[in-house]
Amino acid sequence: MSKSVSEPLPHSLALPVHELRVTGMDCAGCAVAIEAALTRLDGVRQVQVDVMRGTVRVAGDKGVGKTDLTRAIRGAGYGVQATEVESNTPTGRTVAAVLSGVSLAIGLVLGWLDSPVPSTPFHTISLLVGGWYVVPRGIRSVRAKTLDINFLMTIAAIGAAIIGEWAEAASAMFLFAVAQLLEGFAMGRARRAIGALMKLAPREAVVVRDGKESLVPVTDVAVGEIIVTRPGERVPLDGTVSEGRSALDQSPITGESMPVEKEPGSEVFAGSINGHGALHISVTHHAEDTTLARILHAVEEAQASRAPAQTFVDRFARIYTPAVVGLAFLVAIGPPLLADAAWLTWTYRALALLVIACPCALVISTPVTIVSSLTGAARDGVLIKGGGQLEAAGTITAVVFDKTGTITEGRPAVTDIIGIGGITSEEVLRLAAAVERLSEHPVARAVVAEAHKRGIVPPATADFEAIPGQGARATVEGRVLYMGNVRVCESLGNCHDGAHSAIDGLEARGRTAVLLTTDDVALGVLGIADATREGAPEAIASLREAGVRRVLMLTGDNERVASEVAGAVGMDDVHAGLLPLEKQEVVAALRRSGERVAVVGDGVNDAPALAAADVGIAMGGAGTHVALETADIVLMGDDLGQVPATIQRSRRALRLIKQNITFSLLIKAVFLALAVVGQATLWMAVAADTGASLVVIGNGLRALRRSTT
């Protein structure tokens, strides 16, 4: 089994796994050093280093314990923290940087004043204190055969001191110590954003046992037990409401901006914030299996995965750093040997070039952007499975939507009400709801729901009877009324021209026609259709604004209904009457034509098409654990606007990555040239390297911002 820092530990690995929180780990070079130290231990089988979270997970034989791992990490020059609690007390690095700066300042002042008190001792103190954490790591990096920035700084500082440039050596070491602090603070911001996700769910829950309420750890709550969530509290576990009504803020899970009303039978998610009412919730999932837990697990795996750009940068850095170290060696000995140039001058230039050589900014330019984007998306209710999927979403040129349950609500709704013979639409709906209110048919529920929405109260009914294959019958206000399809009307013999005209008009627009009739005369016709999801036209328009060239819809529904829906939301094209494998072929054909395709569906029924796409996007994943496992990107809520927002976020991440890589390489090229011609001093080289790292970190952190469409 290979040992790697780049991939998450597999769940099937039947080995003990230890997780340790590491301090002082701020860049990819740190990860390499820690990995090298751990993989040398007997019994260690696999290592996963997460720089952004500041953690190390190690899988090994039973004989490998935390004590051995801690000793190895500390031997590499890093600390191990027992808990995640951040301390506000000054760290050793802070103290060392301050003392180094004070000593340097004294030495520089003495030199400027031409004081009889020598400045060299103060520069020496500044150098030693500033390098207190740097030099040991540099030595360890040589043992681990990894030329990191600590080694390069150690060689440069010692070399400068040997040739008598004590002020330069001290200045460079002090600036580097400050740089390490600043990088740690900058990385801490991204870590805090990730940590905020981890703290969404409470660690304890109020459980009703034997008629009494008890506060217990969420890990001790069994499926089926009743927990109580009071106003303002977070829901600790997934479940269904058994008692009470309230509005829950589900934005941490689904990204929905408005609270969602909950009543008995409603599904609730761990991490949601309760509103005004107390809820009794029947637990449906253990703590480790909640929707939130699955999201966090997926986010952790996404952070550990590497995007193509990051893999390229890592490969480039492995070649680039040794090459530039070799160049520095040639700069130091070439001119003196070939042109009888001054050894001190060219040695100094080589030392400056060594400091510039470390590709810290380049190596960190990609992961900080990717992790920030993944974390920001998760905070908005969008789960992106990894850096590769994030990059792929940023290149999408065509988006294919499923119809039912994606573009539409997936349930019937009343779209038209037509009165016949002078009867008003309100009266038709009032009587229709009266007939249907005792029926469990989906169409009947749609009619009753429409009446409720309009504030219409149906009258009392009697003698309700379902008519198989046709509809229903009931006595309303002394009259026998029928609700059903055209066969009801034809069997009664009262389908006159007005009724047929209304039916034909509705069916021509893809509606299902339901008639309200008495024994003698048709009273009205209701049009029923799968309602278009709110915000669908705006989402399609936003996709085009985001640069998507083609937007299509695939459905197994008939051509007439599909065309009506596609026209209403502004699709470019529609393919109707398709079986799942035929949908897959349409997607494959789009890809063969050169399009980069995203498929948006429910994550289950559209599995073949999702698998055939460059990016599979599942909607409404908060209630579908299967979607969390199958799709590349999961929209936890049902908001179609998250599709263009996610593509825009991915495109922005790609732009930031390109900006960071370009800036890092440009700075390196400029200062390498300056170092060779003697225009870059040692402290300028440190400032340039540090400044570049801070700039790319700050730029990458912009990916945390919320996307707008």
Q: Which residues have a catalytic role annotated?
A: 402
Task: Count CB-CB contacts under 10 A for residue 222.
Answer: 8
Helix (H, G, I), strand (E, B) or coil at 425: helix
Distance of CA 158 to the CA centre of its chain: 45
Non-local CB neighbours of 470 within 8 Å, separated by 6+ positions: 484, 485, 487, 488, 491
**∠ CA 513-514-516, rounded to 5°:** 135
Order of all β-strands in the sheet with 246-249? 260-262, 246-249, 273-274
**∠ CA 445-449-452, rounded to 5°:** 145
Task: Using the structure block, give the residue that is written with the tokens 């996709």.
Answer: 543
Alpha-carbon distance values, 105 to 109, 126, 398 (Å): 6, 9, 60
Non-local CB neighbours of 214 within 8 Å, separated by 6+ positions: 206, 207, 208
CB-based contact 600:553 (threshold 8 Å): no
CB-based contact 337:350 (threshold 8 Å): no
Alpha-carbon distance values, 236 to 217, 219, 279 (Å): 10, 10, 12
CB-based contact 227:207 (threshold 8 Å): yes
CA–CA distance, 159 with 161 (Å, rounded to integer): 5
CA–CA distance, 379 with 359 (Å, rounded to integer): 31
Length of the chain: 709
Nearest Cα residue to 677 out of 354, 358, 345, 338: 345
Handedness of CA 266, 606, 571, 528 (dihedral sign): negative
Order of all β-strands in the sheet with 479-484? 408-419, 522-532, 512-517, 479-484, 471-476, 461-467
Three-state secondary structure along 207-270?
EEECCEEEEEEHHHCCCCCEEEECCCCECCCCEEEEECCEEEECHHHHCCCCCEEECCCCEECC
